[in-house]
Amino acid sequence: MKQITIAIDGFSSTGKSTVAKLVAKALGYVYVDSGAMYRAITFFAMQNDMISNNHFSKDKLIAELPNAKVSFKFNDELGFAEVYLNDENIERDIRTLEVSNLVSTIAAIPEVRAQLVKIQKEIGKHKAVVMDGRDIGTVVFPDAELKIFMSASADTRAARRFKELSDRGETVSYQDVLENVQKRDHLDSTRKDSPLYKAEDAIAIDNSNLTIQEQLDFILQQVQTILKA
Ligand code: CDP
């Protein structure tokens, strides 16, 4: 059977990864969370005192990038691949609001992007992949057969992320989460290298009022159409 590449881009906390994981599972494809890779480099920079809320040693990070090996390992129990930094599982460490507050600064650095995009292209070279992020349909896989661009109102997104963080036991305020979502959207959309925008051939989905099942059905329908063509 023909295999395709599915690129899912969009604003922060639009539920891209939730749907992408389900799409990958339904098709037997590999799911790759490219945001986790930018978060992993951010965590590396935090651990090595290269970045905090009031300082950033950009040159030091660039010099140390060869020592930050980001990879994925499939977790059979969870049913998806977890992110590793130099062979350490950091899946939980990278989802904090602290990392979210610094990641867009790190993701704007061309050297960081070049290192991660190379890995992303390698993972997707045989197709049968669902990757979500900000530049997947525009930079990583411009020839992807199916491109989706997800958005939702800022309130809806902040509420989703607030629930996710609270459920995980993190003490955060809704206001801080909302501010983070808005600030990241701005930084991600206005940076020079690979800014977030909708590829011309991407299908836009505003999922403010859609269930996960509705989004999944819609995307799988698109896949069927492509496979039949
Ligand atoms: O919080 P959310 O799940 O929406 O974000 P994420 O997918 O984990 O991505 C975290 C951050 O990584 C984004 O805000 C971007 O700054 C950066 N990113 C990027 O620049 N390019 C990608 N392909 C994926 C993420």
Rounded to whole angstroms, the Cα distance separating 78 from 156 reads 26
**Which of helix, strand or coil describes residue 90?**
coil
Among protein residues, the one with the nearest Cα to ligand 1's atom 5 is 12
CATH number for position 25: 3.40.50.300
204/128 Cα distance (integer angstroms): 22
| 80-105 pLDDT per residue, tens | 899 999 999 999 999 999 999 999 99
Q: Is there a contact between 59 and 52 (Cβ–Cβ < 8 Å)? A: no
Residue 119 lies in a domain: yes
Residue 66 has pLDDT above 90, yes or no: yes
pLDDT at 206: 95
H or E element in which residue 150 lies: strand 146-151
Asked if residue 208 is part of any domain, the answer here is: yes
| Residue range 31-51: mean pLDDT, rounded | 98
Residues of the chain with pLDDT > 90, as a percent, come to 98
DSSP codes, 152-163: --HHHHHHHHHH
| DSSP per-residue string spanning 96-144 | SHHHHHHHHHHHT-HHHHHHHHHHHHHHTTTS-EEEEESSIIIII-TT-
Output helix, strand, coil percentages for the chain, rounded to the nearest 5.
50, 20, 30
Please count the structural domains in the chain.
1
Strand order in the sheet with 88-89: 70-75, 80-85, 88-89
Q: Which residue has the tokens 């051939």?
A: 201
229 falls within a domain: no
The pTM of this model reads 0.97
Statement: residue 67 has pLDDT above 90: yes
Does residue 197 lie within any of the structural domains?
yes
Does ligand 1 come within 6 angstroms of the Cβ of 185?
no
CA 158 to ligand 1 centroid distance, Å: 15
Domain span at residue 60 reads 5-224
DSSP state of 25: H
- 73 or 79, greater pLDDT: 73
Q: Is 49 within the bounds of a domain?
A: yes
For a substitution probing ligand 1, which of 12, 18, 90, 170 has the most ligand atoms within 8 Å of its CB?
12
Q: If you take atom 15 of ligand 1, which residue's CA is the nearest one? A: 104
Residue 202 counted as domain residue? yes
- pLDDT exceeds cutoff 90 at 1: no
Percentage of the residues of the chain whose pLDDT score is greater than 70: 100
Q: 154-211, pLDDT tens digit by residue?
A: 999 999 999 999 999 999 999 999 999 999 999 999 999 999 999 999 999 999 999 9
Residue 129, both tokens? 């992949």
